[in-house]
Structure 1
Amino acid sequence: MTLPPPDERPTEAEVDRDSRSAALAMAFTLPGDVLLYLLLPLHAAEFGVTLPEVGLLLAANRLVRIFGYGQVAALYANRGPRVAVLAAVGASTVATSLYVFASGLWLLLVARLLWGLAFGALNISNQALPTAILDGAARRSARVRAIVSMGSVAGLVAGSFMAEIMGPRPVFLLLAIATLPGFYFASRLPGFAEGKVLSGPRFSIPAPMDVWSFFSGLTLDGLFVVGLSVLAAATMEEGAGLAVGLAMSMRYLAEIVFAAPGGALAQKVGPRRMLIIFSLCASLGMLLLGIGGALLWVGALGTIVLRALIQPLPAPVVAEDNPGPERIPALARQASWRDIGAGAGPLLAGLLLPVVPAVMLYGAASILLAGASLALARKPKRQD
């Protein structure tokens, strides 16, 4: 383990460069995963799986992260960002290549588990590097989100177009080749490690940020995505699928457009304050989603924009509460809680939407998100 001497700590310009390299590495590896969410349900038979197995495969990468973030964070902390991101790019290349020929549940499950761990390393790197120093952390985190979202948009647009011409399998070969520039950007990252951090159990008493992450994942990632499809189908006689598809595509476009100005505003006002304000507004959007009618689309579009503004803000807040190397396990813990919430959201929506009025379900979700957001106003005490 190699630690940088105090007089060689990174400058703000170096942190900017490293953050950009990590974001580009992630942008080149994401298209295969994003496109699989579109193609696997549509072409389940060609991949040799049933629709229930499709659900398991699409959830597997999130489930493995819940239990694997601790190990991924340890790799990052002890071996440094270069090793962690190089390993992640390699795993993503293998996973995307497996989509070309793998058939049946088990081989595809291996690919999804590989990708889940790869995403974990990429995600931590893209939160830890921008927050290596607090000055400019919100601005860098916003720029990272915009770059990563460009990769997602490219994967959806170009990948779906090529899949129409080539079929669902061959397109993943091109996307596997497209991951290769990620090795170059990963090789530009620092080779030093920040050092092992001794911390308590990752699932001990959750901090306010962990609670917010859980309810954010539950509402903005889980209930929102599933509920939008179900409620739109109930509201619109025709074109519901197209409307939902356009609305969901706007998630990535909104991050490209709004992440940078939102990060700049957070840099001036403070990321914690902006996270609370944007989250409270998003909770109102969830309530409008439950009311339905014309307000459904007002709530949907508002929530999409606010989610884009929120995305870059948790990492700077975590770094402020957990300075130095302590932020790495804290970032991993926060990401784990968000994944747990995001995994529970669709399950909760599937169970409750048929039997509970939408306004009651989304009203409760709105209250939970608002309460968790207000709890962030009290900064946790640091232990010496």
Structure 2
Amino acid sequence: MSRIPLASNPTPTDLNSRHAAMALGLSLPADVVLYLLLPMYASEFGVTLAEAGMLLAANRLVRIAGYGFVARFYARNGDRLTCTIAVLAAAVCGLGYATLSGFWALLPLRLMWGLCFAALNLSTQALATVDPVGAARRNGRSRAFIAVGPVLALPLGALLAHWSGPRTIFGILAVFSLLAWFVTRRLPAAPHPVAKPKRRFSRPNSLDSWSFMEGLTLDGLFIVGLSYLGKDLLPGGAVIVAGVLMALRYLAEILLSPVGGHMAERFGAERLLVGLSLVTAIALVGFGLGWLWSCAALIVVLRALQLPLLPPIVARRTPGPERVQALAARSVWRDIGAGTGPLIAGLLLPVASPPWIYGVAAALLALAALACGWSASSPAADAARTAG
């Protein structure tokens, strides 16, 4: 039986996974702080709330079209070059958020960041699942490293925005993105083997459906709703409260994503995914009914436990050269959902009832989770349906 290495004696695979996660953790804060500040300070960025929703969605929507290109570039050029380009471009985005105003000025930055994140995220997942032994554990620790940057940046961004406006923090975060260059120099330079890409359209499978709904609810509707509804409940200090709660979301990843990875190794990733998703659906209903802060805290915990689960499931169902493409495909579906979420939130939250919005989303998330549980008993059938 293969022995999972201890944390005190990391293998080269562990170290590579850790370095990729650190690069993403240093580059990500400008994006997550924008999710906090743009809906609350839309006018200071020269946009409307609907335009803010489109900007927050744009980085994910571009990945729908661009993930295939990013995956091919990544496989051909390896982690070091791909991630180095990504972190330098991320620094440019942070500087742009600090200085530019208006929808058309900010849109190119959001599109560029979308491709940067695609490259960095794919690197973290691919390096964490190179060895199937301990993949869930390794992915959980990777998520913890990624979360360190946002958990520090969000409270700082909220405080600076409260005191001096929403721009200053992005100049500081651009510097941290530049520091990620030193980390990417330690990544492997070797290319990755990939299967020949399929040209025909593949129907979404159960993991695609779950990825879509997870992105729509937790990375779209929940985050924008927390900022928008919190502003109405706590005028004045809402940015600080929302910033702290969003930071707790990433602190939960640091503390609980490794726990989720270990639980997946013990109980099975598919079983855990279904159970946690059903509880998340219940918490979303409560969030929409007005139990904003308590249900938001519960959603934060549940999301952190779920984050390490999908890559090991994908790696187990699609081993070999198809693994990188499969990981990219699941990320595309999550991005479709997460890109749709802010658009829905920006359009519906000002005019529709939150219980209706979040109740429908919760029901769809629960159905997608149950479909994943059903397909777990027959992954071959699920794969055959995808190929068809």
Q: When the two structures are superposed, what TM-score results if normalisation uses the length of structure 1? A: 0.85
**Matched ranges for 1:1-384 at <5 A:** 13-41=11-39, 44=42, 47-49=45-47, 51-161=49-159, 168-201=166-199, 204-228=202-226, 241=238, 244-290=242-288, 292=289, 294=291, 297-349=293-345, 358-377=354-373, 378-379=375-376, 380-381=379-380
Counterpart CA distance in 2 for 1:260 and 1:267 is 11
Offset, 1:245: 4.7
Counterpart CA distance in 2 for 1:184 and 1:357 is 48
Counterpart CA distance in 2 for 1:155 and 1:182 is 15
Q: Aligned in 2, Cα 1:103/1:243: closer, same or farther, shift over 3 Å?
A: closer
> 8 Å contact 2:17–2:128 — kept in the other structure?
yes
Equivalent pairs, count: 371
Q: Which segment drifts farther, 100-109 or 223-232?
A: 223-232
Provide the secondary structure at the position in 1 that maps to 2:189. coil
Q: When the two structures are superposed, what TM-score results if normalisation uses the length of structure 2? A: 0.84
Counterpart CA distance in 1 for 2:164 and 2:293 is 35
> 8 Å contact 1:287–1:362 — kept in the other structure?
yes
Offset, 1:338: 1.0
> 8 Å contact 2:155–2:243 — kept in the other structure?
no
> 8 Å contact 1:12–1:135 — kept in the other structure?
no
Provide the secondary structure at the position in 2 that maps to 1:96. helix
CA offset digits 1:205-246 (Å, max 9, x no partner): 012110111111222223333445666678x58789365554
Counterpart CA distance in 1 for 2:157 and 2:228 is 26
Between the aligned residues of both structures, percent identity stands at 48
Provide the secondary structure at the position in 2 that maps to 1:206. coil
Q: Which segment drifts farther, 215-224 or 94-103?
A: 94-103
Counterpart CA distance in 2 for 1:165 and 1:297 is 23
Q: Aligned in 2, Cα 1:127/1:228: closer, same or farther, shift over 3 Å?
A: same
Offset, 1:375: 1.7
CA offset digits 1:272-310 (Å, max 9, x no partner): 2211221122122223334x355x554332222111111
Q: Which amino acid is the alignment partner of residue 322 of structure 2?
A: E
Q: Which runs of 5+ in 2 are unaligned?
A: 1-8
Provide the secondary structure at the position in 2 that maps to 1:287. helix
Q: Which segment drifts farther, 137-146 or 276-285?
A: 276-285
CA-based RMSD? 3.1
Q: Aligned in 2, Cα 1:237/1:307: closer, same or farther, shift over 3 Å?
A: closer
> 8 Å contact 1:202–1:333 — kept in the other structure?
no
> 8 Å contact 1:132–1:324 — kept in the other structure?
no
Offset, 1:319: 0.9
Q: Which amino acid is the alignment partner of residue 302 of structure 1?
A: L
Offset, 1:31: 2.1
Provide the secondary structure at the position in 2 that maps to 1:177. helix
> 8 Å contact 1:41–1:51 — kept in the other structure?
yes
> 8 Å contact 1:25–1:186 — kept in the other structure?
yes
> 8 Å contact 1:80–1:192 — kept in the other structure?
yes
> 8 Å contact 1:223–1:345 — kept in the other structure?
yes
Counterpart CA distance in 2 for 1:172 and 1:362 is 31
